Structure 1
Amino acid sequence: MDTTPQSPFFHTISAEEVASSLEVDLRDGLSDRQVAERTATYGANELREKRRTTLAEKFIAQFKDAMILILLAAAVIAGAIGEISDTVVILTIVILNATIGLVQEYRAERAVDALKRMTEPEARTRRGGHLQTIPSVQLVPGDVVSIEAGNVVTADLRLFEVADCEIDEAALTGESFTVTKQEEPLDDEELPIGDQLNMAFKGTNVTRGRALGVVVATGYQTELGKIADLLQTSGTVLTPLQHRLERFGAKLAVAILIIAAVVFFAGLLRGEEVMLMLLTAISLAVAAIPEALPAVVTISLAMGAQKMGKHNALMRRLPTVESLGSVTYICSDKTGTLTSNRMRVERIDADGTSVNSLSEIDIVSEPWQWLGRLLALSTDVSLDEHDEPLGDPTEVALYLGALDGGIRKHDIEAGFPRIAELAFDASRRAMTTLHSIDDEVAAFTKGAPEAVIPCCAKQLLSSGDEAIDRQALLQQAEEMATEGYRVLALAMRRFPHLPDCITHDCIETELVLLGLVGLIDPPRPEVPEAITACKTAGIKPVMITGDHPATASAIARRLDIASDIEVMTGTDIAALSEEEFADRVKEISVYARVSPEQKIAIVKALQKHGEFVAMTGDGVNAAPALKRATIGIGMGKKGTDVAREASDMVLLDDNFATIVHAVSEGRRIFDNIRKFIKYTMTSNAGEVWVLFLAPFIGLPLPLLPVQILWINLVTDGLPGLALSAEHKERGIMSRPPRRPEETIFSHGMWQHVVWVGLLIAALSLGAQAWAFHGGSDNWQTIVFTVLTFSQLMHVLAIRSEHESLFRIGLFSNPALIGAILLTVSLQMMIVYVPFFNGIFHTSPLSAHDLLLCMLLPLVVFVAVEMEKFAVRQGWIYS
């Protein structure tokens, strides 16, 4: 279906050649027969859904994890040897963990749905010589379509008749300004879409005037459709935590199989029964797998997401919560993200003076009075019910510029009524309004300096009309443009009465220049501080925009994005090979005039260097890169549905500074998840050492699978979950991001897991040997309880990576204290309640035995506090 019409460069050929290429009469449009044929060839003008994964397929995919497969195997073996209760418990845990993974699978699907909602449902087209309104999905290449202010463009059009037409393409290209359209062909085949002035693109908004165009692309062949296709093919990447857990899971699975096999065959060689050794191997497998890890990580992330939501950062994917802590680059869209997405007058050069606003001067001299009147009266701005200005963004900016000087259009227009106007002419790049003023007529002209200044004979100063230096003024305008301003020249001419000839040639001549005005979409006031904070946290900001290079450079300098700013354009990127671009990508901090595909290329090139990349943006053009980035950040207020649906995180206040808080919170959450992993893996290591070493020192199997599951789920799970409430470590935003290659077990964690696990095992096996050889029938319950209480002492000691518990305060995390007390109560219940004795194979302990179980674990707490003291002194793990 979606084949492309003959020429992909319709902007380079005349309207007649386009019509010939598409075999259409521009006056009459297509015939019914042609419409039917093209519908069969090109299909409907819609963004069709591609096949979606079914719920069953998503559920099955959750069982591909190596640790889950080992648990399933353990459940099968346990059932085969008659341990039905163990089988039921293990399968229950596996199914619960698999269910958790189903909630994050619909982002790309919703993004495409949002793209479909963007398009106008109807289009006005000329067919068979008649203008008719049809559903936009019925448009085909060759249709002649009429667009006007207020319309959404419904297909990609080559314009052939333009009347003062301006289109807002910000959502598609990132361009701050509306684009003035023209009919004439353009020479360069490789022009970015933002510079194709004779084209109108699907999904953009007509803000002014009207135009006729011929459809050259529909559906997925439009620029918008290509983005929709990119959203479905650009793919997603694993977050840092997912990377680390995936690597950890694979290595742990191998280790589990090796240890279980060694124990199984060593037992057989000693003459142990096969069934007993199978039970031992199952126990080892269950002991080594951190069953509570997926649930605790998910709940910790959910709690973090809820907290971030209260600070205007909405998390659409839970792993995003922690991945913020690993981000090394933030590639930010300029318009609406770093800037306010609202044009403002920020420089006025008049009467030999340069000011930032009319509020800075006393408007008493004649030049400033006339300039203020021109700003107010030459616009077509209306006010809504809240007195907010509505209209073309440039004209709204001029209106507000006059308002800064206390000049309200609606207060003065009765004394200066508009009696005629010359609409904006794309070839002259200027417009004029004529106003009656007492007994004369004033013509106010505004437009591009290169169009207006040559028409000026003089300039108005406080001292009166003076000769004009056109070359100096044009150079001044050029300098303003290089600083990122959109520059307009303002001029006027006074007539004794309304001229008979009201044309551009008659009116826009012998003008008197009033001044130059510089407009810009300024940075958000809070962004510079946020960028400084990002740099302090080791995160490099990069600006990516579809805007003009001079504008991008000016904004980047204001924000201090980099000390040495080099702007790379989309054309520059296209001229480099993939390898050449990858070699340079880390040197560039500002990109301009880039396409959606190039945004993805930038993200991929950085990721090839091992960087974790965040991409912020609010437009349709940012959506594929948002999806491809490690973390995509959309804007909640001014962002498009497409960008929000493609993102991992949405800034509800559109405030770049919110990212800084989110990064800090993400680092805290990862720290706490890492503490849980340290806690649970040390606990599991203790269990594995106990099971592994017991046969070699002549002791029977110390723990049963159901007891191990209780420890892993309850003793690990409840305090582990409470660890997520720990406060931030000091200096959390002064340290660099975690490097991608950094493992979960870095900074001394694996050493801690090994030696503290051995310590817990030694205490447990010592208690077992004392009870077993002393003839106690409760020896297994003693081992079970010593292990449980040792882990509770351990969790108290690791609340901070470096600081002592007594420095951070025993009760500074009430949730953890509550979890410990609850775990102790539940342990007492399964030890002393007869019903649970049968399920967990326990028996009541004497007061003497219970005291032993409570005192031995204190050794773990003291040892870990001593370890942290050594870390603070720089003796270990440095």
Structure 2
Amino acid sequence: MKIEPLGESTDPLVNIFNTTVAELLNIVEAYRQRKLAEDIELLESEGGALSFEDKLKSSIKYGLSNKEDQTERIKIFGSNKPAKDRSKTYFQICWEVLEDPILRILVISGLISLTIGATLDEHPAYGWIEGFAIIVAVCVVVNVTAVNDMQKQKKFKELKKRNRTGRVVTILRDGVWSSMHPKHILVGDIIKIENGITIPADGILIDGSQIEVVEAAMTGENDNIKKLPFEEAVRIKEEYYLNNPGVLEAMKKSEEDRHHELPSPVVLSGTNLAEGVGIMIVIAVGKNSAEGRIFDLAERADELTPLQVKLARVAGGVGKLGLVCAIVTVITLYLRFIIEIASGEISWSNKEHPLLLVKFLIIGITVLVVAIPEGLPLAVTISLAYSIKKMQSENNLVRKMQACETMGGADQICSDKTGTLTQNLMTVSEMWAGNQALNIESGPPSQGTFQAEFLHLLKESIFMNSSAFIDPEKGKQGSKTEIAMILLMQALGHSDCIETRNTYLERYHRIFPFSSKRKKSSIIITTDEGKLRIHVKGASEVVSSCCTSFLTVDGKSHLIDNETSKVIQNMISRMTDNALRVIALTYRDLPIDVDIEKFDTMGFPELEKSNLTLIALIGIRDPIRPEVPGAVKECQRAGITVRMVTGDNKATAKAIARECNIISKDTQTVMEGKEFSTKTGGTVCKECKTKICPCPRNAREAKTSTKSIREDVVADLEAFKEIVANLAVLARSQPDDKYTLVTGLKQLGHVVAVTGDGTNDAPALSKADIGFAMGITGTEMAKESAGIILLDDNFKSIVRAVIWGRNIYDNIRAFLQFQITVNIVAVISAMVGAITIQQSPLTSVQLLWVNLIMDSFASLALATDPPTDDHLNRPPYKKTEFIIEKRMWKHILGQSIVQLIIMFSMMYAGEWFLPEFGTGTSVLYNKDTDYVIAGRTYNPDGSENYKPYLSDPNIGPSRQFTYIFNTFVLLQLTNEVNARKIRDEVNAFERILMNKMFIGIWFFTLAMQVLIISVGSYAFSCHLKGLTVEQWMICIAFSAISLVWRFVLVFMPTSIFSKVHVDENRNSARLLSMRGSSMQRERINLNTT
């Protein structure tokens, strides 16, 4: 059981602190490698936990001193400031983009074309231009992509920074507990850890109660792991050794691992406190801590979001088609050339043909570049990044990108009550005390209502069994429920909460924090008379059932008879029916020799289970948020079922659910968690069919197991299905019940969103398709498990997330409809042109410009369309729904057919209907007609056509093919307007002015096209004189056909397209390998935030 040490320090400054960094890290490493209790034994050999008070020049009672020069401490042990983000530079991103093999081939081809054109071409003065233009076009693509990535990187750095902001930890300095940012923690600090926080540094527990930690973030183990202060851990270890003689010898000979059989006092940074409160001394921070060392060794793997994976599959189908077209095009061109050479139709020319062969290759490569819609993941990234920014302004802080897109398909929302559906503004509304009912809303009880003895016990119960307080400077701190009761005491003339606690500072014996399983909290103190007393507070029906007596106004205790019992139960029922949360305050005086460490089989304190005296019943009202009933109605209109999951009893939960419109039909039911769990059987392992099984819980455990990773399912799915058909509210529920509800709904094929604020909600938040954590009341562990954080804890913000999720999906579909149309037209026209006339109607540079329009400009324009409330007028997307639906295929294929007809008409018959205007050199070669001269370099039979004119520096590229290029681009701009609508909406221009980004990019693209046509010349293969105004009008007229044709398509039945789709379920590995770096650029993961 020997622990491998990390090494010894030779730092000459080590004697200042009487310990080394290595010695401290060996303690953590002993825990990480422990088989039984090696870490405890190592601490014992070091002199125990308290020995570090001297070694680290700290004080358990006063902590570190702010007056101390902390330079040496930081120099030796390090700082807890987060490591700098490893952001990529602009040039690193550019290089990553250039790792795309297709772009590299284009660069090489461009260089070859440039070299041959400048040396072997008949007209080297401008023969180099096309090769140079290809290189410039690639540079533009690279830089546009790099700029997008830089902006994306900047946005997520800001998001990461915002996620860190607001985290606080309680640190003891100069004898005063203060809230500080974790970055200020130093080795030797005494810090308080409380339920829900993420532990910010490695340390040793020196005090605490009922501490349970989840180490999933560090070890992958999802179970709660019990921790004990050092002294208790030693005692438990000694008892274990005594009761298990020979265990140490047996462990030495065995490979058996009993890592968690004995509780450890060592806690690791990055883990989460699931239960309890404690105090620890810090022994490692920053890069020396367990969390810091893990992050230093490995970066978290990037992952494609689900929508990106689905789009990659679509792109894979289109890309394969493009690859086939490119190969066919290149092979046809080379075969035709070889046949012409072999037959003697043409003779080899050292000046002309090497460049021609390179151009054939470039045409094929360019067809492939245009065919592969690598702009799809970019569009997802842009849409998500844009949406994330906008969603934050609407109080949705997105931590995981996939949560945005998944919300578009959410059809179930399981919502908490407190703070989400309600305002979390707790006020005491009613009270039963001293055997009388009091309406507090109408005013506090008069001064003579209660006698001093009663008030003393009421004050002691409220002030002592609570961690909340009201500070003159910081205001209200702690649980809103406890604050409401403190305010009640203030109304009764007792504002000395902090002072009262200070007088009891040395009289605390044991604190049992609130547990959702027990539904209560308790504290054991010594009274002024020297007696032991336990105060118990919790859910009224749970705690009152443990009472055998009650207090009257004079502070006297009386037995609860049948009549009084009925009064109490009726009072609880009346309050809960009035949507009040009822808290019972009780106490019990204990004999001085009582065993306060006695627990039942559930681990609950025995002392709080019987012989309690009821002090008061407190009815607390938490008003419904005024916007919630309307928001719930909006969800129901959108096809989303809203269910409430709460810890309140059935009566309170039902009353609140009715107010919120969650219950609107008599058939809807309310069920308590216990009954729900019994009927459904809870969750079990899918393979073993048991709640507890040997199956590994994570990938780390799976490496050493023959079994697959455990998958949880509902034990009795049929019973579950029957229950959830009408289930509206799950009352008196525990986190396990919420987890079962989420698991079952997902099993039934639903997309589930769930809200949570507590540490115990983490499993359900992680299990759900979309987890919403409360930004105000949520624990750090809940936030870490969630995909979205509700900054205002408001249900209305969830509705906004739904709208944004659906909008993202619609925007991606719009872009998909646009891009696939361009792909089909560009690829088919290029292939047919190359095969028939040895040239594509669009040159390589022109196609690269079109590719830029498709990928970057169109993705910005279409992926940023803002949402509207109309998104709630239809049901959610289904998981099995194809991303390209039948109506979309109707418009994709319909527009493609029209565009190809226009393109081929211009290409093969343009000289018969495309007019020529103007005078001068540009028209002299066509004196006998009013139409343009045929611009095809070769005729279909292989004979030369326009080729001689290309050699004339006064004429250059043809007017006909300038027509074709301009009309093609304008058709795409027109279709960009069409593509905004994907549901056969008649008006394609509806709300177009709402998207300023679309308008700006559309006109920018048009302006760039005008510039290219006017001055593009040889670089873009445009006529030296461009196009006249009249010719521009003709191009615009042809492009307008797309708008008219869309109107026809809207009324065309979609049934003829019912069998047209790209299989989105097939593997896209070939596409990913083909465009590996391009896809890699779009991988986004926010988990590291």
When the two structures are superposed, what TM-score results if normalisation uses the length of structure 2?
A: 0.57
- Rounded Cα–Cα distance in structure 2 between residues aligned with 1:429 and 1:748: 66
What does residue range 254-403 of structure 1 map to in structure 2 within 5 Å? Answer: 254-271=320-337, 274-290=357-373, 297-315=380-398, 321-327=404-410, 345=428, 348-350=431-433, 358-359=440-441, 363=445, 375=458, 379-380=462-463, 383-385=470-472, 388-390=475-477, 395-402=482-489
Whether contact under 8 Å (2:315, 2:376) holds in the other structure is no
Matched, 1:89 2:172: no
Distance 2:1005 2:163 in 1: 47
2:432 and 2:571 in contact (8 A); partners too: no
Instruction: Pick one of 77, 80, 83 that aligns with 2:112.
Output: 80
| Aligned with 1:575 (options 669, 678, 692) | 692
Which letter does structure 2 place at the counterpart of 1:829?
A: L
Task: Confirm whether residue 757 of structure 1 aligns to residue 896 of structure 2.
Answer: yes
Q: 1:641: Cα distance to partner?
A: 6.6
Structure 1 counterpart of 2:387, one-letter code: G
- Kindly state the Cα deviation for residue 264 of structure 1 after the two structures are TM-superposed: 1.6
Distance 1:703 1:240 in 2: 35
* Offset from partner CA, 1:57-92 (integer Å, 9 cap, x none): 9957995999x4434333333433332321331244
CA distance in 1: counterparts of 2:572 and 2:290, whole angstroms: 33
Deviation for aligned residue 1:679: 1.5
1:146 to partner: Cα distance: 9.9
Higher deviation after alignment, 647-656 or 360-369: 360-369
Pick aligned residue for 1:737 from 871, 876, 882: 876
SS in structure 2 at match of 1:856:
helix
Task: Pick closer, same or farther for the CA change 1:172–1:797 going to 2, 3 Å.
Answer: closer
- Matches of residues 554-569 of structure 1 in structure 2 within 5 Å? 558=656, 563=669, 565=671, 566=673
Aligned residue number for residue 868 of structure 1: 1050
For 1:547-599, what per-residue CA distance to the aligned partner results, in whole angstroms no more than 9, with x for missing partners? xx77899869955599565566999785266666235598599797669xx99
The alignment status of 1:842 with 2:1022, answered yes or no, reads: yes
Once the two structures are TM-superposed, the CA of residue 530 in structure 1 deviates from its matched residue by 5.0
Matched residues in 2 for 1:360 and 1:619: separation? 33
Is contact 2:205–2:266 with CA below 8 Å preserved after alignment? yes
Aligned 1:161-310 pairs, distance under 5 A: 238-271=304-337, 274-290=357-373, 297-310=380-393
Q: CA RMSD in A?
A: 6.9
CA distance in structure 1 between the aligned counterparts of 2:869 and 2:836, rounded to whole angstroms: 45
Q: Is the 8 A contact 2:684 2:714 kept in 1?
A: no
Corresponding residue to 2:585 among 474, 489, 493: 489
* Cα offset, 1:761, TM superposition: 1.3
Deviation of 1:703 after TM superposition, in Å, equals 0.9
Distance apart, 1:313 and its partner CA: 2.6
User: Counterpart of 1:775?
Assistant: 933
- The answer as to 2:659 corresponding to 1:659 is no
Distance 1:367 1:346, change over 3 A: same
Q: 1:791 to 1:423 in 2, by over 3 A?
A: same
Q: Is 1:787 equivalent to 2:968 in the alignment? A: yes
CA drift of 1:858 comes to 2.7
CA 1:124–1:522 in 2, change beyond 3 Å: closer, same or farther? farther
- Aligned-pair CA distance for 1:289: 3.8
Deviation at 1:742, TM superposition (A): 3.6
- Larger deviation: 446-455 or 632-641? 446-455
1:607-622 equivalences under 5 Å are none
Distance 1:303 1:25, change over 3 A: closer
How many residues get paired?
813
Q: CA separation of 1:866/1:374 partners in 2, compared to 1, >3 Å: closer, same or farther?
A: farther
Following superposition, the deviation at residue 680 of structure 1 comes to 2.5
Query: Is 2:31 the partner of 1:4?
Result: yes
Check the 8 A contact 1:686/1:760 in 2, yes or no: yes
Contact map agreement 1:789 1:857 (CA 8 A) in 2: yes
SS at match of 1:447: strand
- Indicate conservation of the 8 Å contact 2:771/2:786, yes or no: yes
Give the partner amino acid of 2:472.
E
**Secondary structure in 2 aligned to 1:808?**
coil
Deviates more, 1:474-483 or 1:247-256: 474-483
CA distance in 1, matches of 2:981, 2:910: 35
Residue 871 of structure 2 aligns to a residue in which SS? coil
CA distance in 1: counterparts of 2:445 and 2:367, whole angstroms? 85
Query: Shift of the alpha carbon at 1:301?
Result: 4.0
What's 2:122 paired with? none
AA aligned to 2:1036 is M
Structure 2 gaps, min length 5: 1-25, 58-75, 115-130, 176-183, 241-259, 339-355, 512-521, 596-607, 686-690, 696-708, 913-931, 935-957, 1060-1089
- Provide the secondary structure at the position in 2 that maps to 1:800: coil
Give structure 1 stretches of 5+ with no counterpart.
Answer: 11-16, 36-42, 126-133, 140-144, 436-442, 494-500
Amino acid at match of 2:692: A
Shift of 1:763: 0.6
Query: Which residue does the alignment assign to 2:977?
Result: 796
Counterparts of residues 604-753 of structure 1 (less than 5 Å): 633-638=772-777, 649-695=788-834, 698=837, 700-714=839-853, 718=857, 721-724=860-863, 726=865, 728=867, 731-753=870-892
Q: How many Å separate the matches in 2 of 1:837 and 1:514?
A: 93
Larger deviation, residues 794-803 vs 658-667: 794-803
* Cα offset, 1:870, TM superposition: 3.3
| d(CA) in 2 for partners of 1:52, 1:395 | 41
Matched letter for residue 617 of structure 2: L
Is 1:460–2:552 an aligned residue pair? yes
State the Cα distance separating 1:859 from its structure 2 match. 2.4
Shift of 1:721: 3.5
Shift of 1:261: 0.5
- 1:199 CA drift (Å): 11
Once the 2 structures are TM-superposed, how far is the Cα of residue 156 of structure 1 from its aligned partner? 6.8
Specify whether residues 155 and 8 from structure 1 end up closer, same or farther in structure 2 by C-alpha distance, changes over 3 A only. farther
- TM-aligned CA deviation for residue 841 of structure 1: 1.5
Amino acid at match of 1:867: L
Q: Which amino acid aligns with 1:398?
A: M
**Normalising to structure 1: TM-score of the pair?**
0.69
User: How much does 1:359 deviate?
Assistant: 1.6
2:895 match: secondary structure: helix
User: Match for residue 469 of structure 1?
Assistant: 561
Distance in 2 (CA, whole Å) between partners of 1:552 and 1:111 is 42
**1 CA distance for matches of 2:583 and 2:570?**
8
Would the alpha carbon gap of residues 379 and 285 (structure 1) be closer, same or farther in structure 2, given more than 3 Å must change?
same
- Aligned pairs (5 A) from 1:119-134: none
The question of whether the paired residues in 2 share the 8 Å contact of 1:373 and 1:402 is answered with no
- Letter of the structure 1 residue corresponding to residue 1012 of structure 2: I
Which range moves more in the overlay, 293-302 or 237-246? Answer: 293-302
Q: Percent identity?
A: 24
Q: What letter is aligned with 1:271?
A: F
* Corresponding residue number in structure 2 for 1:440: none
Deviation at 1:384, TM superposition (A): 2.8
Question: Which 10-residue stretch deviates more, 422-431 or 800-809?
Answer: 422-431
Structure 1 residue 94: Cα displacement: 3.4
- Structure 2 distance, partners of 1:231, 1:328, is 40
Which structure 2 residues correspond to residues 486-635 of structure 1 after superposition, within 5 A?
Answer: 487-489=583-585, 514-517=615-618, 530=631, 533-534=634-635, 536-538=637-639, 558=656, 563=669, 565=671, 566=673, 574-575=691-692, 581-583=712-714, 587=720, 633-635=772-774
The whole-number CA distance in structure 2 between the counterparts of 1:408 and 1:170 is 43
